[in-house]
Chain A
Amino acid sequence: MTEVRDRKPEGESATDADLSDIQVPDESLFKIRLKLLWRSFRRNWALFSRNRLGVLGVVIVLFFGFLAMLHPILMNTVWSEKHAIYDPVIGTDAVIIEKTVVEDVNDPLTQMSFTEAMIAGEFFPEEGMIIEVSIAPAPPNKDHYLGTDPFGRDILSQLMFGARAAFTLGVIAAVSAVVLATIVGSVAAFYGGWVDTWLMRQADLILLLPLLPLLIVIGSFWDIGLVQLGIMIGILSGLGGTAIILKSQALSVKVKPFNDAARVAGGSSRHIIVRHVIPNVLPLSFLYMMFEVTGAIFLEATLSFFGLLSIPMSWGIMINTAHTQGYTLFGLAAWWLLFPAGLAVTLFAAGFFLIGRAMDEVVNPRLRTR
């Protein structure tokens, strides 16, 4: 299965494999398949890399992959003695900075009022006095390259941990959705009749569901973790929109003559679906996997922004923390609270979206410029 997956449905590749089977019997089938795979990969990469935005998407995704892998390594090496400081969820660090006492506070991050100075322990404050205080959302410094959040937790560590969460969710949602949608689409297209009607009406129904409100209610009723959410999104979209798209692709594969050939050669329906229909739908499935990741990440981040998921840490929760702790309108004055997390969600989703678009041009020759 896996060898066939990346072979794009050019039509010739299937016969190529058969011919080389006959002509070069001394080479093992596995090696030939590997060679074919490599050749089709190179050809598709050449098409893909023509789209510069697509390559940018790959770079972005690789960057986040690097971040996600870096976190456990850092936790076990550089930060291993400082778990209490750098743990993304329970770590906390009081950063000491100097604040000037002034009459009117313009910049709350470097200045403090007389009352605040008295609370901080300086009972006779004077204008211009410099007082050392420990602050909770601390700006970037040498210990915390991206500062700390309102609870004194390291933003960089949270960001890297969030990348792990994002990949976990994205992979679970995308794989389950696409596996389900490929099977449902192929079966519906191949059998037609009432099976088709049933599956497609069901898909229509799921498309109509207001997904976010429903997940908000579900999230408030039950404890939803990353895995549950991923599977839920996967099922809903795998039986819904993605199934409809993949079914239309499967329909166009179904009418190709090689299915009749397989049927005449004595292949069962299951054999034809598994060996002929599904492999030819897979390129499109792969493409929709990318879009699936984008959708799943947005849903997860939005739900955790509302605080409805039981996840230890994610990018959505980082924004939620800043929002609920009252740093919504600080904007650039406290940029490390809102921008890293928001940009991370945006870029991560954009990366997969761009890859999807570029792959669309590889799979759909009609979209190419040349």
Chain B
Amino acid sequence: MARYLVNRILQMLLLFVLFLTILFFLLNAQPGDISAQFIGNPDIPPEAKEILRRQLGLDQSLFVQYLFYIKNVFTGNLGVSFSQYPRSVADILLTALPRTIYLFLSATILAYVVGFQTGKLVAWKRGTATERVTMVGSIMLYTVFYPWFAILMLWYFGSQLGWFPLGKFLDPTKWFDAPYTANQVFNAMLLSIFLALVVVVAIFYFTGKIEEYRQRLIVRRVLLAVTAVVLIVYWMITPMSPFAVDIAYHTVLPVTTLTLVFYAGITLLTRSSMLETLREDYIFTARAKGVPEKIIRDRHAARNALLPVTTSFVLAIAFVIGGGIVTESIFSWPGLGLTLLGAVTVEDVPLAMGALVMIGVLALIAHLVADILYAFLDPRIRVQA
């Protein structure tokens, strides 16, 4: 498995360089260059313009510029933003990054967990009214025009019912004399989600070794409950909690909206994958042996139906990233997507390109995680090592 992973990481690096190449040529395919903004000014003497060009490296050949670009990206130097002048692009993006990761992580996990369960049950109950209602609902959610759906959610739950705030990241009045910066609290939240995730995966992995089914179920539930209690107690006693609650309150609506649409796709996919699996001979064999129906569903069918669903994650990444941008724009969630859109509207080229690079990195890391998961789930790869 290690060799497989090293292979994938090398491939990812290569892909990243290719992605940067595309971006570089995209940037250079435009007429003129960045220095045109300074050079157009008649007050600057020609010698000064020449010095400016040399300082920016624009007198070099395109290939040398390209090498510089790659080197700069890998050393984290993404330039200086035009619109927020003295701030560096990397600084702006690193502030926005955790917020996008949060949206991405929570929506993905919720959608996969709930979507897989729904899809499983729906496939099992094929032909019933429940199935039909869920299917029609899922197709409607899957094909709804996402920005419109997000606007409607914002209108209904934010304005009509007034349950949730109208977008934004936090309520400034509550943060007036806060001892923490928003990002400190937010990063702590993100970290605890991440740790919880690791612990849950570890619990599932280690309890998987317990042979007896009922025993395993009990141990698993107890451990999961302990994790949940620890997490809740920690967030109740820490002095950050009122601020964390404020941020969490602002995240409910965007995360739910993104999750709902994403969830529909997972449900549809799980259902069809499950239906394929249910036709396999080993399901028939299990039935003939007299294995209880619930065990056939959960251990024989659902486990094998999980593989194509995991593979689909690779395709889903593009969807979540795109959906994330729309979500961020409609709920004014100050993440990477909103930064990108803002940069694009004020023609802040370095910031826009930087945001694109960052989104690319995010996508590649998500792919890598998908690969690791896949290697883990597929015995054909896992056992190879």
Q: Do A and B bind each other?
A: yes
Residues of chain A at the chain B interface (Cβ within 8 Å): 53, 204-205, 207-214, 216-222, 241, 294, 298, 301-302, 305-306, 308, 315-316, 319, 323, 328-331, 338, 341-342, 345-346, 349-350, 353-354, 366-367
Shortest CB distance B339–A (Å)? 11
**Which 5 residue pairs are nearest across A and B when measured between Cβ atoms?**
A342-B148, A212-B322, A350-B143, A345-B145, A331-B155
State A218–B151 Cα separation when bound (angstroms): 25
From B140, which residue of chain A is reached at the shortest CB distance? A350
Shortest CB distance B359–A (Å)? 5
Select which of A221, A315, A319, A329 is within 8 A of B155 by beta carbon. Answer: A329
Q: Is the CB of B326 within 8 A of A302?
A: yes
* Residues of B with C-beta under 8 A to A221: 26, 30
State A264–B12 Cα separation when bound (angstroms): 43
Select which of B18, B160, B322, B325 is within 8 A of A205 by beta carbon. Answer: B18
- Tell me whether A208 and B272 are in contact in the complex, defined as CB-CB below 8 angstroms, given that A216-B341, A319-B148, A331-B160 are known contacts: no
State A217–B29 Cα separation when bound (angstroms): 13
Select which of B314, B325, B337, B344 is within 8 A of A207 by beta carbon. Answer: B314
From B135, which residue of chain A is reached at the shortest CB distance? A53
B315 within 8 Å of A (CB atoms): yes
Q: Is the CB of B347 within 8 A of A366?
A: no
Q: A212-B318, A329-B158 are in contact. List 15 more A-B contacts (CB 8 A).
A: A205-B19, A207-B318, A210-B318, A210-B363, A213-B359, A217-B26, A217-B353, A220-B344, A221-B26, A301-B145, A302-B146, A306-B329, A329-B155, A331-B159, A342-B152
State A346–B142 Cα separation when bound (angstroms): 9
Shortest CB distance B126–A (Å)? 8
State A204–B355 Cα separation when bound (angstroms): 22
Residues of chain B at the chain A interface (Cβ within 8 Å): 15, 18-19, 22, 26, 30, 139-140, 142-149, 151-152, 154-156, 158-160, 166, 272, 275-276, 279, 314-315, 318, 321-322, 325-326, 329, 337, 340-341, 344-345, 347, 352-353, 355-356, 359-360, 363-364, 367
From B337, which residue of chain A is reached at the shortest CB distance? A213
- Tell me whether A302 and B347 are in contact in the complex, defined as CB-CB below 8 angstroms, given that A213-B321, A353-B142 are known contacts: no
Which of A205, A208, A366 has the largest number of chain B CB atoms within 10 A?
Answer: A208
- Tell me whether A366 and B279 are in contact in the complex, defined as CB-CB below 8 angstroms, given that A216-B340, A331-B152 are known contacts: yes
State A205–B337 Cα separation when bound (angstroms): 22
Q: Is the CB of B152 within 8 A of A302?
A: no
* Residues of B with C-beta under 8 A to A366: 276, 279
Select which of B159, B325, B359 is within 8 A of A329 by beta carbon. Answer: B159
- Tell me whether A353 and B139 are in contact in the complex, defined as CB-CB below 8 angstroms, given that A212-B325, A217-B352, A323-B151 are known contacts: yes
* Residues of A with C-beta under 8 A to B321: 210, 212-213
Shortest CB distance A356–B (Å)? 11
Q: Is the CB of B145 within 8 A of A342?
A: yes
* Residues of B with C-beta under 8 A to A331: 152, 155-156, 159-160
State A216–B23 Cα separation when bound (angstroms): 13
Shortest CB distance A282–B (Å)? 23
Count of A-B residue pairs with CB < 8 Å: 122
23 A/B residue pairs, CB under 8 Å, sorted by A: A204-B15, A209-B318, A211-B318, A213-B321, A213-B340, A217-B26, A217-B353, A220-B347, A220-B352, A302-B146, A302-B147, A305-B326, A306-B329, A319-B145, A330-B155, A331-B156, A331-B159, A345-B145, A346-B144, A350-B140, A353-B142, A367-B272, A367-B275
Q: Is the CB of A346 within 8 A of B145?
A: yes
State A329–B353 Cα separation when bound (angstroms): 32
Interface of B is mostly: helix
* Residues of B with C-beta under 8 A to A205: 15, 18-19
* Residues of B with C-beta under 8 A to A241: 315
State A263–B160 Cα separation when bound (angstroms): 69
State A339–B307 Cα separation when bound (angstroms): 39
State A301–B376 Cα separation when bound (angstroms): 38
* Residues of B with C-beta under 8 A to A306: 329, 341
From B364, which residue of chain A is reached at the shortest CB distance? A208
From A301, which residue of chain B is reached at the shortest CB distance? B145
State A219–B149 Cα separation when bound (angstroms): 23
State A141–B281 Cα separation when bound (angstroms): 63
State A112–B355 Cα separation when bound (angstroms): 45
From B272, which residue of chain A is reached at the shortest CB distance? A367
* Residues of A with C-beta under 8 A to B363: 208, 210
Q: Is the CB of B159 within 8 A of A349?
A: no
* Residues of A with C-beta under 8 A to B347: 220
State A241–B315 Cα separation when bound (angstroms): 9
Shortest CB distance A126–B (Å)? 31
State A109–B321 Cα separation when bound (angstroms): 38
Shortest CB distance A105–B (Å)? 16
* Residues of B with C-beta under 8 A to A354: 139
State A228–B276 Cα separation when bound (angstroms): 39
Q: Is the CB of A302 within 8 A of B352?
A: no
* Residues of A with C-beta under 8 A to B337: 213
* Residues of A with C-beta under 8 A to B26: 217-218, 221
State A219–B318 Cα separation when bound (angstroms): 18
Q: Is the CB of B159 within 8 A of A213?
A: no
State A353–B141 Cα separation when bound (angstroms): 12
* Residues of B with C-beta under 8 A to A218: 26
State A53–B135 Cα separation when bound (angstroms): 11
State A216–B217 Cα separation when bound (angstroms): 48
